Structure 1
Amino acid sequence: MHEQLVQQIDDLLPQTQCTQCGFEGCLPYAKALASREADLNRCPPGGESTIAALSALLSLPEKPVDPSCGTSIERHIASIHPQHCIGCTLCIKACPVDAIVGSSKRRHAVLAELCTGCELCIPPCPVDCIDMVFMPEFSAWDQAQAHAARARMHTRENRLKRQKEEQAERLEAKAIHKLDELDDTPSPDAAAKKAVVQAALARARARRQAQTP
């Protein structure tokens, strides 16, 4: 029942992943709400409509948005000044829904229709070239868009996890190759070198095993 309630709550949240609620995204906030560890008025992007929906679901009284979390405004879109962008990719890494495109040392751009307005791309920018702008044509944000944003977030998380695993596999293969080289070319310090590599391999494997659900 608890997991079902978490899903129902998460379905009502705007999926901006903005962290204004004080949690690391909409799902952690949904879990806290389901456990009665957080109040229902901590989502400025959702505003009054989300509070009303949560109130009906959880049988709790409605409250104004908690001002400590921010204020409810119409959706704003991140905009990158192309003449100032240095192509550092930090905003791309910060965007939870893959709404920023570009590559290293190339100008980046925001896909306005995908931007949730979370503002998470602003703090990492070393040259302060990102502003939040109001675009009437992109001001609306409905549940269909929210669910699409959540799907993009999951796709991104899976991609990053896969890339991390592939990198770990490449490093392990490199270490194993190094061990083979040490076996093929004996030297006075070969045993010590092998011990160092084997210890590093064991630590890496233990970390991966600990991270596996």
Structure 2
Amino acid sequence: MTATETALADRIDAVLPQTQCGKCGYAGCRPYAEAISSGDADINQCPPGGANGIRLLADLLGVAAKPLNPAFGVERLRLIAVINEAECIGCTKCLPPCPTDAILGAAKHMHTVITELCTGCELCVAPCPMNCIAMVPADNADWTPEDAGRARLRYQARNRRLARLEAEKAERQLRQKQMLAKLRSAKKNA
């Protein structure tokens, strides 16, 4: 990506809803912003952003607004995930896909959604083997730029945490391999 495309992607990303749902066909809002800035994606692929989001993108890019492409979904009221706690078995399959760590729970314990952190991405629904996660209309249907900003920060913090955990795991595995190599060498020399 060129510096110009990166700067444009920053401005595009700033107007996207930050639900990180992937409905646009990309792995999240930032990859979608980068695809728009490089000309690989159109401005009408974000159902959570809807008509208002398309208008904001059109204004930013100086192009005509167009209807949401139905191949990517339909615009609807903001939804949030709710877990039927009586049916939750604590399998933890809903935790990894949540882009903002909005689900609280541990293995073999009931989980719950922290409503204020839920972006409504729906990524937790499919992995649930108990079908105990429902998407319900949010009490506050308005998703503001401030909400999007908080969601972006939580998503970035989650990604940093996951990268740190992966680096720590790789470091442990390297130490284990080195220790095994030393043991094998000592055994061979004995």
Q: Please tell me the TM-score bracket, short chain as reference.
A: over 0.9
What is the Cα-based RMSD across aligned positions, in Å? Answer: 1.4
TM-score (ref. length: structure 2): 0.94
**SS where residue 165 of structure 2 aligns?**
helix
Structure 1: state its 5+ residue gaps.
Answer: 191-213
1:161 aligned to 2:163?
A: yes
**Matching of residues 2-17 of structure 1 within 5 Å:** 2-17=5-20
**SS where residue 43 of structure 1 aligns?**
coil
**Which whole-Å CA distance do the structure 1 matches of 2:38 and 2:170 have between them?**
36
**Which whole-Å CA distance do the structure 2 matches of 1:148 and 1:56 have between them?**
23
Identity across the alignment (%): 44
**Which whole-Å CA distance do the structure 1 matches of 2:183 and 2:25 have between them?**
51
Q: How far did residue 84 of structure 1 move?
A: 1.1
**Richer in helix (by share):** 1
TM-score (ref. length: structure 1): 0.84
1:121-143 deviations in Å (ceiling 9; x for gaps): 0111111110001132x322111
1:138-164 deviations in Å (ceiling 9; x for gaps): 322111110111111111111111111
**SS where residue 186 of structure 1 aligns?**
helix
**Which whole-Å CA distance do the structure 2 matches of 1:38 and 1:126 have between them?**
34
Choose the corresponding residue for 2:56, options 53, 56, 59: 53
Residue 77 of structure 1 corresponds to which residue in structure 2? 80
**Which whole-Å CA distance do the structure 2 matches of 1:38 and 1:24 have between them?**
13
Residue 177 of structure 1 corresponds to which residue in structure 2? 179
Choose the corresponding residue for 1:32, options 18, 32, 35: 35
Larger RCO (CA within 8 A; separation ≥ 6): 2
Residue 86 of structure 1 corresponds to which residue in structure 2? 89
Q: How far did residue 185 of structure 1 move?
A: 2.6
**Which whole-Å CA distance do the structure 2 matches of 1:33 and 1:103 have between them?**
38
Letter of the aligned partner of 1:40 in structure 2? I
Structure 1 moving runs of 4+ over 3 Å? none
**Which whole-Å CA distance do the structure 1 matches of 2:173 and 2:28 have between them?**
31
Residue 197 of structure 1 corresponds to which residue in structure 2? none
**Which whole-Å CA distance do the structure 1 matches of 2:163 and 2:25 have between them?**
24
**Which whole-Å CA distance do the structure 2 matches of 1:174 and 1:119 have between them?**
39
Q: How far did residue 165 of structure 1 move?
A: 0.9
**Which whole-Å CA distance do the structure 2 matches of 1:28 and 1:119 have between them?**
18
Structure 2: state its 5+ residue gaps.
Answer: none
- Figure out how many residues of one structure are paired with residues of the other and give that number: 187
